[in-house]
Amino acid sequence: MAKTIVGVLRGGPSSEYEVSLQTGASVLKNLNRERYEPRDIFITKNGVWHMDGFQRGEDYILHRLDVVFNALHGEYGEDGKVQRILEHFGVPFTGSRSLPSAMAMNKVMTKNSMVNLPLKMPRHIVIENSDEDLEKKIMEIWRTFIQPSVVKPMALGSSVGVGIARDFPTLHGLILGALEKSDAALVEEYIRGREATCGVVENFRGDEIYQLLPVEIIPPAEKDFFDYEAKYSGASREICPGNFLPEEKVAIQQAAALVHQTLGLGHYSRSDFIVSPKRGIYFLEVNTLPGLTNESLLPKSLAAIGCSLPDFLEHLITLALSR
């Protein structure tokens, strides 16, 4: 029987370029060679495509694949851009389609989609590069918005550019830094509590949306939260299943499934939460292409339920081919 040719997209013009290289390498390593013939599709930081080490055009590459495994992260790979390319050429691919990807990548669009759901979300305000008198608006946020606050670029992942502001100079610096990375910055109220994340997988083990076990994230003592460095340095502790009350566990799982379903995401996703001891569970954001590196959270969740990474990759490819 002929093997299925799987193109693994990795790299790309993204602030998460290095992480994508690692996820792609993990996918290439764990694909079942008895069933699949992998192709390493490397995309440079300038957006130039290569297949098996040779520079090629997108049309040349995509017409030679049966299916694409999207191992990109962040801008270009997770915001609908590469999905539109794949849809244009009619090649099946893993993960969400272009429109849900774009919506999920934009933190405010995600929040607006959730506003009528039974989900708690931190209060927020948006500041844009196009706003008149940025300095005046930043001062207004400091004076009128609840502090401390969390500042995030509007459309980046892996906590790139995210920080907690406890004083005006920090708030000012974080907002300007976020606006260098994105067209807009999101300023959220800081919810004190334990960090949690929960993945879901479609059509898995008999469930339309299978809810993985929530992971509890304990950043190193010197970190206020699970930032980019804490995510990929190996310094954080990730406990799966997390030490949550039974009702907290169920609520986190149900919320992750609800977010996935409401945004119309595809195949799998992972949602992040804060579990406050006094205020309950708050939804923060969703990741449509969770990392699959050795330090990533989703493989830990899969291992906790006895699912190997090769089996999970095969499941995603099967979903992509049947969509």
Active-site residue identified among 14, 101, 269, 296: 296
- DSSP H or E segment with residue 273: strand 268-276
DSSP labels for 131-161? SS-HHHHHHHHHHHS-SSEEEEETT--TTTT
Calculated CA dihedral for residues 9, 13, 18, 19, nearest 10 degrees: -60
Question: Is 158 a residue of the active site?
Answer: yes
CB atoms within 10 A of CB 261: 14
Q: Which of 15, 101, 149, 158 is catalytic?
A: 158
Tell the residue number behind the tokens 């339920």, with chain if given. Answer: 305
The annotation status of 180 as a binding-site residue, yes or no, is no
Whether residue 84 contacts residue 68, with contact meaning beta carbons closer than 8 Å, is answered with: no
Is residue 177 helix, strand or coil? helix
Looking up tokens 């083990």 gives: 205
What is the distance of C-alpha 216 from the center of its chain? 17
Residue closest to 61 by CA, chosen among 41, 45, 88, 83? 41
Residue 287: what are its φ and ψ, rounded to 5°? -115, 115
Residue 308 has phi, psi (to 5 degrees) of -80, 160
Q: Strands 4-11 and 67-70: what pairing?
A: parallel
132 is in an annotated binding site: no
Known binding residue 189? Answer is: no
Specify the residue for token string 């607006």.
112
* Choice among 16, 75, 78, 202 that is catalytic: 16
Known binding positions for Mg(2+): 272, 285, 287
Annotated catalytic sites, by residue? Answer: 16, 158, 296
Known binding positions: 272, 285, 287
